[in-house]
Each structure stands twice: as structure tokens, then as C-alpha cells.
A = this chain, B = another copy of it.
Amino acid sequence: MAKKTAVAKSKKKPAPSTKKRKRKSGTTGERIEALAQSVVTMAEKQIDPHVDIPLRALSNVHFNEKTRYIEMGDKFQQRNFFNYGQAKRFMQTMLVASKCKDLSNEEKTASIRQIYYMAKHTIKGTKEKTFDEQSECDPIIEDLEVAVESLREELHVFASSRGSLIGQLTFVDSGDTIDATRMGSGGYSIPSIVEPDVIQFKKCNAKFVLHLEKDTVWRRFVEDRFWEKHRCILTHGGGQPPRGVRRLLHRMHNELKLPVYVLLDNDPWGYYIYSVIKQGSINLAFESSRMAIPDAKYVGVSAFDYERFDLSDDVKIEVDANDVKRSKQIMAYPWFKNKRPWAREIKRLLANGFKMEVEAMCSKSLSFVTEEYLPYKLKHKNEWLD
């Protein structure tokens, strides 16, 4: 009975705590093993086996003014085996963990869809499936990420890849040396997993990284050999950059000490993309420390650029009700709220009543953006948004 009480007690713990979470030690494989071992130990001691899953919810997320990114708090949920409502998810968690351990042992990687198919089976003697839908499996992978404090990539699970890179960087990817100044017009496809065991930086002549929203704009910069003239690295993420692109930007920023400049469309979506690159996202708050780049700078497009560059009416795209709503939400984000330039920027967008795309600069001339707009921006740091 004493044991049961112990379990019941641990259910209440912890109330939101201010103590710092300690990073778990060991490799991801070792941490999965430790998780499994703790379950075995509980079973042997005849305690109801459980795993603690840090809570991934808005209520457990906050903006840390010191680190300047979104962080996860200390609340967690206990997932018990002998609990009617939790048993299935408990078993699913164990199953996914064992598949990730297999991947790690085999030195292979899999997509979330592949994990789902690997883990899905019919339980012997029943018609019960371990998973009915991928949508059941995906959150379990996220649970496991936070439970063992490993990036998805460290669990050997990859997301869809999107995004390319060209510029003043030489690196090794899986044993192959890639000179990103010699990648033609196509460029290097940024893979989903860019951890140091896959990608090692070798030589960097760049002074900064310029991250662009879309491949079509990126191509303009590549064709005009902007990376050569301005000694930089050009990346894009096909819209909201996927994990691999964010993680690579993070690594270039921290390991190569490169400033990261971001050029996005002047609309709430552009602001939001910047926000995610800089502060992290609520969904992936547990990964902020290895994804977010609090020092990233928004170099454009700004709502003030319309006057600044004497643009014509042809660049205007009317804002709609949804844009207004999103702009106000973004303005209220704790990390934008206290910054006057951001308040001015967003208010100006709303006062303008129109949005502008990077591509709209073509209405001046095709290479205006690479030959005049961005060189001007690079000189006038006071006009950047931080």
C-alpha cells in the first residue's frame, strides 16, 4: 500500500515549479533505455508502471525574458499502465520508443509515416490495432521527444525536407564534402536531419546568413550571385521553414558565429515566420534552445519600405479581415509587445491597408531587390526590426 501511496503522491507533483529542469545525460539511445529500465523496475517492485510526459500545452509554455525564447515549463503528466484511460497510450509510447531504439541501433532514420507503419500491428488474438491512424502516432513521437529530452532528429525520425542552400560554406554531409559555392543553380537540398553526426562545418567565408522565404526569391539572389558579392550564405525554407532548415540556421549562427538576417513578405505570415525563427514556436517549445535564434534580425520587407523606396501602387495587396486579426495577435505576443519598433511596424501595416511581397520589388526592376534594396538595408541597420 505504501507503494501505491507513493504513486498517488507523484501524480500531484509537481505544481508549476520554478526550479530549472536538469538536462538528462547520456545519448538518446541510452535515455530510451533508461526510460524502459524505469518501467521494468517499477513492474518488478509491483508499482503501477508509468512514464512522465512533460506537458505540451499553452499552459506549460512561457517566454523567457533572459534566454529570449519560448520555453516549456515543468508541468508534466503521468501516463500509467494500470489506468483504463491511459493504458493504450502508455503501450503506444513504449512501442514507439522501442522502434526509435531500433533505428538508433541500426543507424537508420525514418519518417513519421514510416514509424507509424513500423509500429502498427494487430495484437495477437484480437482485432485491436496498436494504431489506427498516423494522427494517433505523431503526438506519441512528440511525447517521446520531450520525455527523453531529445530532438526528433536525435530519435532518428525525420520530417519532410524543404529548402535549399548556396553560398560561402564548405561542409561534410555523410562523408561527402560539399562546397556550397559550387552548387550550380539548383543548390544543396537541406535535409531534415542536420545534426553534427551528419553535417560537419569545414570552411566558412561568409559574413552572414540571409534567409529568404520562398525558393523563387532565393533563385533571384542565386542568379545574381548575391552570395559572392556580399560574402554570405543564402537559404530558403519554402514558406515556414521546416525543422531541418531552422536547425541548420541555428547551428550556423551558434557554431560559425554568423548573424542571421531574414527577408520575408510584409504580411502577418512573414512576421510570424520571423517570430518562429527567432523565438521558437509554442508547439515545439521544448526544442527552442536548439532551434530558436534570438539574435536573428528582420531586414525586410517593412511596411515603411513603400515610402522609403518610392514604390508604386502596383505592389499593393489589400489586407483582409484575417490579416487584421493575425496582426493584432502578433502585436500582443510577449516578445513583440514591449518593442516599440515592432508596434510601429505592425500599426503601419494596418494603416497602409496593404501587404507587400518581396517579389513585388520586381515592379521596379527584376534585380532591384539584390542590387539596391538589400544593399541599402545592409547599410541601414537602424531600419531593421529586432
Contact = CB atoms under 8 A, between A and B. Distances in A.
A184 interface: yes
Nearest to A192: B219
Interface residues of A, number: 59
Given A184-B176, A188-B189, A219-B191, A360 B314 contact: no
Contacts of A117: 314-315, 359-363
Contact of A191 (B121, B129, B185, B359): B185
A41 to B, nearest CB: 30
Contacts of A118: 362-363, 366
A106 interface: yes
Interface stretch (A60-68, A107-115, A271-279): A107-115
A161 B182 contact: no
Interface in A136-185: 158, 160-161, 164, 172-178, 182-185
A199 interface: yes
A223 B108 contact: yes
A198 interface: yes
Interface hub of A106, A114, A360 (most chain B Cβ within 10 A): A114
Interface hub of A110, A113, A224, A362 (most chain B Cβ within 10 A): A362
Interface in A303-320: 312-315
A216 B192 CA distance: 10
A369 to B, nearest CB: 10
Given A120-B363, A176-B183, A191-B185, A219 B111 contact: yes
Interface string A209-233: 0000011100110011000000000
A359 B114 contact: yes
A182 B188 contact: no
Nearest to A314: B120
Contacts of A312: 121-122
Interface of A: 102-103, 106, 108-111, 113-114, 117-118, 120-122, 129, 158, 160-161, 164, 172-178, 182-193, 198-199, 214-216, 219-220, 223-224, 312-315, 357, 359-363, 366-367
Contacts of A175: 184
Given A114-B216, A120-B314, 18 more contacts: A106-B366, A108-B224, A108-B367, A109-B223, A110-B220, A113-B359, A117-B362, A158-B219, A160-B214, A172-B184, A173-B183, A173-B185, A178-B186, A183-B188, A184-B198, A186-B188, A186-B190, A187-B189
B129 A314 contact: yes
B184 A114 contact: no
Contacts of A366: 102-103, 106, 108, 110, 114, 118
Nearest to A110: B366
Nearest to A115: B362
A37 B178 CA distance: 48
A24 to B, nearest CB: 26
